[in-house]
Chains A and B, each alone.
Chain A
Amino acid sequence: MHESHKFKIPIGPQHPALKEPESFSVALKGEKILGVEIRLGYNHRGIEKACEERTYIQDIYLAERICGICSHSHSSCFIQCVEELAGLEVPKRGLFIRTLIGELERVHSHFLWLGVAGHEVGFDTLLMYTWRDRELVMDLLAGLTGNRVNYGMNTIGGVRRDVTKEQLRKIKETVDVLEERTMYYIKIATSEPTLINRLSGVGVLSREDTLSLDAVGPTARASGVSRDVRRDDPYAAYAELNFYVITDDHCDVYGRTIVRVKELLESFKIIREIVAKIPEGPIAVKAPRRIPAGEALSRYEAPRGEDMHYVKSNGSDKPERVKVRAPTLANVQAVKHMLKDRYLADLPIVIAAIDPCFSCTDRMVRLDRMDKGQSDVINWKQLHDYSLGWHREHGVDFSSLNERLKKAL
Chain B
Amino acid sequence: MRELFNIIVFPGFIFLALFGFAAEYFDRRMHARLQNRKGPPWFQPVADFIKLISKEDLIPSDANAGMFRMAPIVALASTVTAFLYIPLWNGKALYSFNGDVIVVLYFLTIPTMAIFIGGWYSTSLFARLGSVRAITQLFAYEVPLFIGILSAALLADSWSLAGIVRFYNSHPLLFICNIPGFVVSLVALLGKLERVPFDIPEAETEIVAGAFTEYSGRLLAFFRMTLAIEMVVGASLLAAVFLPTVAVPGASGSAGTGLYPAAFIGFGVYLIEVFFIVALISLARTIFARLRLDQMVVFCWKFLAPLGIAQLLLNLYLKGLLTR
Contact B293 A31 (CB under 8 A): yes
For B293, list chain A residues within 8 Å (CB): 31, 343, 345
Q: Quick one: which of A9, A128, A346 contacts B129, CB cutoff 8 A? A: A9
Q: Identify the stretch in B33-41, B253-261, B264-272 within 8 Å (CB) of chain A at 4 or more residues.
A: B33-41
- Is B200 interfacial (CB 8 A cutoff)? yes
Contact B287 A125 (CB under 8 A): yes
Q: Quick one: which of B125, B136, B292 contacts A198, CB cutoff 8 A? A: B292
Contact A197 B295 (CB under 8 A): yes
Contact A198 B205 (CB under 8 A): no
Q: Can you list, as one digit per residue, whether each of A193-231 has a CB less than 8 Å from chain B (1) or not (0)?
A: 011011000000000000000000000000000000000
Contact A345 B35 (CB under 8 A): no
Complex Cα distance A405/B317, Å?
90
Knowing A1-B136, A132-B36, the reply to whether A345 touches B203 (Cβ < 8 A) is yes
- Is B291 interfacial (CB 8 A cutoff)? yes
Q: Quick one: which of A16, A31, A123 contacts B290, CB cutoff 8 A? A: A123
Q: Quick one: which of B34, B36, B204, B295 contacts A16, CB cutoff 8 A? A: B204
- Which applies to chain A's interface (DSSP): helix, strand, loop or mixed? helix
Q: Quick one: which of A15, A122, A346 contacts B289, CB cutoff 8 A? A: A122
Contact B289 A192 (CB under 8 A): yes
Nearest B-chain residue to A126, judged by Cβ: B289
Q: Identify the stretch in A71-79, A113-121, A294-302 within 8 Å (CB) of chain B at 4 or more residues.
A: A113-121
Contact B197 A194 (CB under 8 A): yes
Q: Quick one: which of A7, A120, A125, A194 contacts B205, CB cutoff 8 A? A: A120
* Interface residue tally for chain B (C-beta within 8 Å): 29
Chain A nearest Cβ from B285, distance in angstroms: 8
Nearest B-chain residue to A30, judged by Cβ: B132
Knowing A1-B136, A17-B206, A345-B203, the reply to whether A125 touches B290 (Cβ < 8 A) is no
Knowing A345-B200, A346-B292, the reply to whether A129 touches B125 (Cβ < 8 A) is no
- Is B47 interfacial (CB 8 A cutoff)? no
Q: Quick one: which of A16, A197, A346 contacts B291, CB cutoff 8 A? A: A197
Nearest A-chain residue to B196, judged by Cβ: A122
Complex Cα distance A15/B213, Å?
12
Nearest A-chain residue to B290, judged by Cβ: A122
Complex Cα distance A122/B207, Å?
13
Contact B36 A122 (CB under 8 A): no
For A198, list chain B residues within 8 Å (CB): 289-292
- Is B286 interfacial (CB 8 A cutoff)? yes
- Is B248 interfacial (CB 8 A cutoff)? no
Chain A nearest Cβ from B123, distance in angstroms: 12
Contact A194 B35 (CB under 8 A): no
- Is B126 interfacial (CB 8 A cutoff)? yes
Chain B nearest Cβ from A9, distance in angstroms: 5
- Is B3 interfacial (CB 8 A cutoff)? no
Knowing A1-B136, A16-B204, the reply to whether A122 touches B292 (Cβ < 8 A) is no
Q: Can you list, as one digit per residue, whether each of A121-149 has a CB less than 8 Å from chain B (1) or not (0)?
A: 11111001100100000000000000000
- Is B294 interfacial (CB 8 A cutoff)? yes
For B206, list chain A residues within 8 Å (CB): 17, 344-345, 347-348
Contact B132 A1 (CB under 8 A): yes
Chain B nearest Cβ from A226, distance in angstroms: 30
Knowing A16-B205, A345-B203, A348-B205, the reply to whether A121 touches B289 (Cβ < 8 A) is yes
Q: Quick one: which of A9, A128, A192, A195 contacts B126, CB cutoff 8 A? A: A9
CB contacts under 8 Å to A, within B131-148, are 132, 136
Complex Cα distance A128/B38, Å?
12
For A132, list chain B residues within 8 Å (CB): 36
Complex Cα distance A345/B132, Å?
14
Nearest A-chain residue to B34, judged by Cβ: A125
Interface centre among B34, B206, B286, B293 (most CB of A within 10 A): B206
Contact B136 A343 (CB under 8 A): no
Complex Cα distance A344/B133, Å?
12
Complex Cα distance A192/B289, Å?
9
Knowing A125-B35, A129-B35, the reply to whether A7 touches B125 (Cβ < 8 A) is yes
Chain A nearest Cβ from B278, distance in angstroms: 18
Complex Cα distance A96/B199, Å?
48
Nearest A-chain residue to B197, judged by Cβ: A194
Chain A nearest Cβ from B133, distance in angstroms: 8
Complex Cα distance A213/B203, Å?
31
Complex Cα distance A37/B194, Å?
31
Complex Cα distance A192/B288, Å?
8
CB contacts under 8 Å to A, within B269-324, are 286-295
Chain A nearest Cβ from B67, distance in angstroms: 20
CB contacts under 8 Å to B, within A330-351, are 343-348
Complex Cα distance A122/B290, Å?
5
Contact A195 B289 (CB under 8 A): yes
Name 15 interchain pairs, CB-CB below 8 A, sorted by A. A9-B125, A9-B126, A31-B293, A121-B289, A122-B196, A122-B204, A122-B289, A125-B35, A129-B35, A129-B36, A194-B289, A197-B292, A197-B295, A198-B289, A198-B292
Chain B residues packing against A (C-beta within 8 Å): 34-37, 125-126, 129, 132, 136, 196-197, 199-200, 203-208, 286-295
Nearest 3 pairs between A and B by C-beta? A122-B290, A123-B289, A128-B35
Chain A residues packing against B (C-beta within 8 Å): 1, 7, 9, 15-17, 31, 118-125, 128-129, 132, 192, 194-195, 197-198, 343-348
